[in-house]
Chain A
Amino acid sequence: MKRSNEFGDELITAIPGLRAFGISLTSRSDRADDLVQETLMKAWKHQHSYEPGTNIKAWLYTILRNEFYTQLRKRSREVEDADGTYSSLVAIPAEQHGHLDMADLKNALEQLPPDQREAIILVGASGFSYEEAAEICQVAVGTIKSRVNRARNRLGALLNDDGGADSSQDPQTQAMVNQQPSADK
């Protein structure tokens, strides 16, 4: 009896991180919350298979991740609903300062293959070690390391390329502006 409440407390504590992971994977808060809900129900149902004292966070992220891929496979067989597609995309406030705003980062993350995206999020944002991330993704540590590296390089390239695109005018436009035919000479 007591233990069930403690388990419930552990689940509650894990929810914010799980949601962040879900949103980072899907870019959609509704899908992320569905993933979290599934995760919580599965975790509750299978709590006897969790060994107290082991890494519950990694265990829960593993469940969420598996659920994500299950839904991804299911969804790829369905036609995307035209109305719902954009309705619940997470809105990222556009910060205009600096090289890299959150909207750029979100777009770049979406361009990564899912295996690289999850790796960089787990290691680079959720604070998991390579070993924990490998456990969550059920692959070798070396695989996670190379996925993280590829993700970093890809994100770096994506963000660096269009980082300055919106800032002022490009040189060509500037040149044309400057070259306004100045009267008749």
Chain B
Amino acid sequence: MTEKLRKKGKNAGDEKKVTPVAPDHVKGKLSDVAMQDLLGEKLRAYYDQFAREPVPDRFTVLLKQLEARGVPKKTS
């Protein structure tokens, strides 16, 4: 019975597999390494497209209001 339980925890898919980088001309699935490189690049590009947007007016206005109000006192 303990055998059964132990089997449950085993996950064949989790085993480290070393996949060689697929040649560029191979269409379809990318190798793990190529995929991770591409993923990293795309994640940064995805994020940067938003990070490059100018600061919306509502926030510059808000900060001016906050600054005009002054630094809040320490609450006890």
Contact = CB atoms under 8 A, between A and B. Distances in A.
Given A45-B72, A100-B42, A19 B35 contact: no
Contact of A160 (B27, B30, B70): B30
B51 A33 contact: no
A97 B63 CA distance: 41
Nearest to B38: A100
A105 B55 contact: no
Contacts of A129: none
A42 to B, nearest CB: 11
B59 A5 contact: no
Interface string A6-22: 01100110011101110
Contacts of B32: 156
Contact of A19 (B50, B63, B72): B50
Contact of A20 (B51, B66, B72): B51
Contacts of A20: 47-48, 50-51
B11 interface: no
Contact of A24 (B27, B29, B50, B55): B50
Interface stretch (A68-76, A77-85, A120-128, A174-182): A120-128
Interface of A: 3-5, 7-8, 11-12, 15-17, 19-21, 23-24, 33, 36-37, 40-41, 44-45, 47-48, 90, 98-100, 102, 105-106, 109, 120-121, 124-126, 152, 155-156, 159-160, 163-164, 167
